[in-house]
C-alpha cells in the first residue's frame, strides 16, 4: 500500500520481505563487511553534527552534510571532506531533494545521523506559536520525513543504520522546555517503533541520548545554561557515542552514561522521581 506525501506524490511503504545477508550485522555498512560506507549527517553546520562529521571522516566514511548555515557548512566540509547540501529541512520537499542529492553523490546511504535540532526555553504559556511550530518541525517532523525517504533505500540494499539524536529531556521531561521535551520524547518512541518494524530487514535504529552539551544550542534558544551541575559535555563525546552505536550496534547510548539512572528511576518509580525532581530540579 502506498500513501500520498504532503506534496501529493506517492511514497512506497517499507518492503516487508527483505532479509539481511546471513553474515551481516544489522545496521552495519557495506552489507556487513565492516568497511566504512557513506553517511548523511544533518545539523552538520555546528555543534554535535560538526563533531559527528569529523569523527566519521576520520574513520574513512564518505560524507554528505546538511545544515541551514551554508557558510559554516562549507567550512566544516573543508576539514571533513564532504558533499554539502545547505537547506532548511522544514521547507516542503527538502527531504526528497536531500535524499536525491545524497544518492547521486555517494551512490547509497549506509548511515543517517539525524542531528538537526533547535530549542526554546521558558514557560509554555509564554511560548510564541511560531517557536512552538519551529521546535516541532525541526526536532521531530523534518527528521521523520527524511527517515521516511531514506529507509526504503536502506531496506532495498539490505543494510543500513539510522541514528537519531535525542535528549534526556525527552526521557524525563524538563521544566521550561515542555515542547522540546515533547518533541524529543516522540523521537525516542519513534526510534523504538521503527526498530521493531524494521526487524529482519538489515536496517537498524539507534537513539543517542545526551544531557547538556557544550554547543551554541543554548545561545540560540535564547536562554544560556546556568547550572553548575551537571556540567556540559563537549560535542565530541556525543560523536563518540554515535560511533559506539554504529560500530558496536547499540540501540541506545546515553551521554554521559550515568543519565540512565534518573531515566530508570522515572520508569520504575515515577512518583518518587517527581518528588526528587521537585527538590533537586
Is there a contact between 138 and 116 (Cβ–Cβ < 8 Å)? yes
Helices (DSSP H) in the chain: which residue ranges?
A: 47-58, 70-79, 94-106, 129-136, 142-157, 169-172, 178-197, 217-221, 235-248, 260-268, 270-280
Q: Which of 180, 196, 254, 273 is flagged as catalytic?
A: 180
Contact indicator for 45, 68 with CB cutoff of 8 Å: yes
How far is 100 from 82, CA to CA, in rounded Å? 16
Strand order in the sheet with 62-67: 82-86, 62-67, 38-42, 111-114, 160-165, 203-210, 252-255
180 is catalytic: yes
Closest listed residue to residue 49, CA positions, set 105, 148, 117: 117
3-state secondary structure of 217: helix
Q: Which residues pair with 160 in a beta bridge?
A: 203
Geometric angle at alpha carbon 165, from 113 and 63, rounded to 5°: 15
What secondary structure letter does DSSP report for 177? -
Give the catalytic positions in this structure. 180
Amino acid at each position: 500500500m502506498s500513501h500520498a506525501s504532503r506534496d501529493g506524490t506517492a511514497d512506497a511503504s517499507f518492503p516487508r520481505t527483505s532479509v539481511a545477508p546471513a553474515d551481516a550485522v544489522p545496521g552495519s555498512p557495506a552489507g556487513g563487511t565492516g568497511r566504512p560506507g557513506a553517511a548523511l549527517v544533518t545539523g552538520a553546520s555546528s555543534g554535535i553534527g560538526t563533531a559527528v562529521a569529523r569523527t566519521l571522516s576520520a574513520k574513512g566514511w564518505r560524507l554528505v552534510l546538511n545544515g541551514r548555515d551554508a557558510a559554516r557548512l562549507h567550512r566544516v566540509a573543508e576539514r571533513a571532506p564532504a558533499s554539502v547540501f545547505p537547506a532548511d529541512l522544514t521547507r516542503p520537499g527538502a527531504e526528497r531533494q536531500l535524499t536525491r542529492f545524497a544518492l547521486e553523490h555517494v551512490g547509497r546511504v549506509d548511515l543517517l545521523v539525524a542531528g538537526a535540532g533547535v530549542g526554546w526555553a521558558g514557560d509554555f504559556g509564554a511560548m510564541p506559536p511560531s517557536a512552538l511550530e519551529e521546535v516541532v518541525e525541526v526536532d521531530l517532523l523534518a527528521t521523520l520525513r527524511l527517515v521516511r525517504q531514506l529507509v526504503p533505500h536502506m531496506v532495498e540494499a539490505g543494510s543500513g543504520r539510522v541514528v537519531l539524536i535525542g535528549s534526556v529531556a525527552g526521557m524525563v521531561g524538563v521544566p521550561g522546555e515542555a515542547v522540546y521535551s515533547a518533541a524529543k520524547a516522540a523521537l525516542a518512541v519513534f526510534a523504538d517503533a521503527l526498530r521493531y518494524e524494521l526487524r529482519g530487514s538489515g536496517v537498524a535504529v539507534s537513539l543517542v541520548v545526551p544531557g547538556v552539551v557544550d554547543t551554541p544550542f543554548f545561545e540560540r534558544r535564547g536562554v544560556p545554561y546556568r547550572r553548575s551541575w551537571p556540567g556540559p559535555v563537549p560535542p565530541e563525546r556525543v560523536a563518540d557515542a554515535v560511533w559506539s552505536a554504529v560500530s558496536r550496534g547499540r540501540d541506545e547510548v546515553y551521554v554521559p552514561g550515568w543519565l540512565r539512572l534518573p531515566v530508570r528511576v522515572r520508569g520504575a518509580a515515577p512518583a518518587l522521581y517527581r518528588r526528587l525532581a521537585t527538590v533537586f530540579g
